[in-house]
Amino acid sequence: MSSLGPVRDDELGYDGEVYALYVDPAFFGQGAGRALLHAGFTVLRGRGFSSCLIWAHAKNPVRFFYEAMGGRLVAERVQRMMGDPVPEIAFGWRKLALAERTPAR
Ligand SMILES: CC(C)(COP(=O)(O)OP(=O)(O)OC[C@H]1O[C@@H](n2cnc3c(N)ncnc32)[C@H](O)[C@@H]1OP(=O)(O)O)[C@@H](O)C(=O)NCCC(=O)NCCS
């Protein structure tokens, strides 16, 4: 599943945002995440957006996925969740295009 729409923090110069992106763990590593993000970018483009931001927990290994998709680390922040500090990092795409697949490893 994925949810997306207008960026919530427009100070970074991006107009669209993917708020959440989740693949069923039974299907990890089979291309579903890439296909889902690709579809999300197509939806954003269709709604008139031209760029995308995604926030993730700083310690989430998902950062490697976003880097493989061509996202650039563009910001860091600390949010408060039930009183506890939660470090987050943001990945940005200036254009709604993913990096090409890396050759088979
Ligand atoms: C992150 C997530 C969406 C990736 O989905 P996926 O279907 O496993 O990813 P894909 O199979 O499409 O992989 C796409 C690319 O990312 C790379 N990749 C994926 N996870 C990776 C990891 N943990 N470390 C390094 N590279 C990774 C793959 O090598 C692949 O590269 P390629 O397309 O160039 O060959 C999935 O792991 C997930 O739902 N995680 C839990 C939820 C989550 O953390 N969501 C993000 C909240 S912000």
Ordered by start, the domain boundaries in the chain are 2-93
**N residues, the chain:** 105
- Comparing CA positions, the residue from 58, 66, 61 lying closest to residue 88 is 58
Per residue in 6-22, pLDDT tens? 999 889 999 999 999 99
Q: Domain 2-93 in CATH: superfamily?
A: Gcn5-related N-acetyltransferase (GNAT) (3.40.630.30)
Ligand 1 centroid, distance to 13 Cα (angstroms): 25
pLDDT number for residue 95 = 97
Closest C-alpha residue for ligand 1 atom 33:
101
- Comparing CA positions, the residue from 42, 48, 49, 22 lying closest to residue 98 is 42
What residues of the chain score a pLDDT lower than 70?
A: 104-105
Ligand 1 centroid, distance to 99 Cα (angstroms): 13
Residue 39, SS3 per DSSP = helix
Structure tokens that stand for 10 in this block: 């427009």
Share of the chain above pLDDT 90, in %: 88
pLDDT number for residue 104 = 64
- For residue 91, the one-letter residue type is F
Residues in contact with ligand 1 by the CB-under-6-Å rule are: 21-23, 28-34, 56, 60-62, 64-65, 68, 101-102
